Amino acid sequence: MVALPSAARFAFVKRSIAAYMDQTYDRRELLIVLDQGPKEAKAAICDHVATLRRDDIRIIETAGVPTLGALRNFSRAHAQGELHCQWDDDDLHHPERVERQLEELTRTGAQAVCLQEVMQFFTTTGELYWTNWRATEATVMPATLLCQATVAARYPETGPTSRLGEDTEICTELLRQGQLHAMPDAPHLFVYVNHGANTWGDDFHRMLADRLGLSQGLLKRREARIKEFFKVFDFGAGVIEVRGPNGLAFTVTAASPGAP
């Protein structure tokens, strides 16, 4: 997990760490690479991890001002496992994400696996979309990559895509090598969160929802299944609009999981 230390993103980082701790797959570690940021924000992350008293969560830093791609490669170089899983610091991860993706990797014999469908949530408006990435260049949602540690593909460290789109580049390379498997019909394992301070801007997130979102009609037919997501993920209290590019499908009055 590459974490961007800032006061505004601290709650997201804690949430992603908690999602890691909730994973049903036991043999794991979380390696947190701190990006550039205020010393106070870095200290807050370090202090929080220290309070957890977990020997499976490590924090490392690198010198200079590396690109996001370089930070991801740095994390892979220091990871101890036979498998590497990209774990973004501001998205929602289902407790079974690692276990289910690993099962798919083993079943297919592939070197890498990504989810082809994910949910997309806009926190400021309370809109939830179901997106299918099959028609994109990588054919998958790149931020969901789980791969063998031995794959030769690397994140780009220089050029424009080393700062934005670095995960798309590595997935596209794995696809060219015939090593990437797209895992379909498991959108509940990952929620791509737009919170207004993402690496990609709002216009990009809106474009994805418009181009990749399932239609209003399909969402209505899957209403019962989608409502099951609200038992796992904390979308915040209030009315959540489940939408397609062509309009509102239905609404859900959400509360934090486990709330009365």
Q: From residue 93, how far is each of 26, 192, 216 by CA, in Å?
A: 15, 9, 25
Are 69 and 159 in contact by the 8 Å Cβ rule? The answer is no
Any domain includes 101: yes
Burial class from Cβ neighbours inside 10 Å (0-12, 13-18, 19+) for residue 15 reads middle
Q: Is residue 158 part of a domain?
A: yes
Task: Examine residue 137 and state whether it is found in any structural domain, yes or no.
Answer: yes
Look at residue 146 and tell me if it is in a domain: yes
CATH code assigned at 153 = 3.90.550.10
In a domain, 164, yes or no: yes
Q: From first to last of its 260 residues, what are the pLDDT tens digits of the chain? A: 999 899 989 999 999 999 999 999 999 999 999 988 899 999 999 999 999 999 999 999 988 889 999 999 999 999 999 999 999 999 999 999 999 999 999 999 999 999 999 999 999 999 999 999 999 999 999 999 999 999 989 999 999 999 889 999 999 999 999 999 999 999 999 999 997 666 656 888 999 999 999 999 999 999 999 999 999 998 988 999 999 999 999 999 977 665 44
Token pair in block for residue 21: 């701790």
**Total of domains in the chain:** 1
The CA distance from 60 to 68, in Å, is 15
Compute the distance between CA of residue 58 and CA of residue 27 in angstroms, rounded to an integer. Answer: 15
pLDDT, position 115: 98
**Residue located via tokens 């990209």:** 86
Q: CA 105, CA 163: separation in Å to the nearest integer?
A: 28
Q: What is the pTM of this model?
A: 0.94
Residue-number span of the structural domain to which 249 is assigned: 2-254
Tokens of 32: 């947190």
Say if 259 falls within a structural domain: no
Q: Is 260 a member of any domain?
A: no
Domain-located, residue 35? yes
Closest by CA position to 132, among listed 57, 73, 219: 219
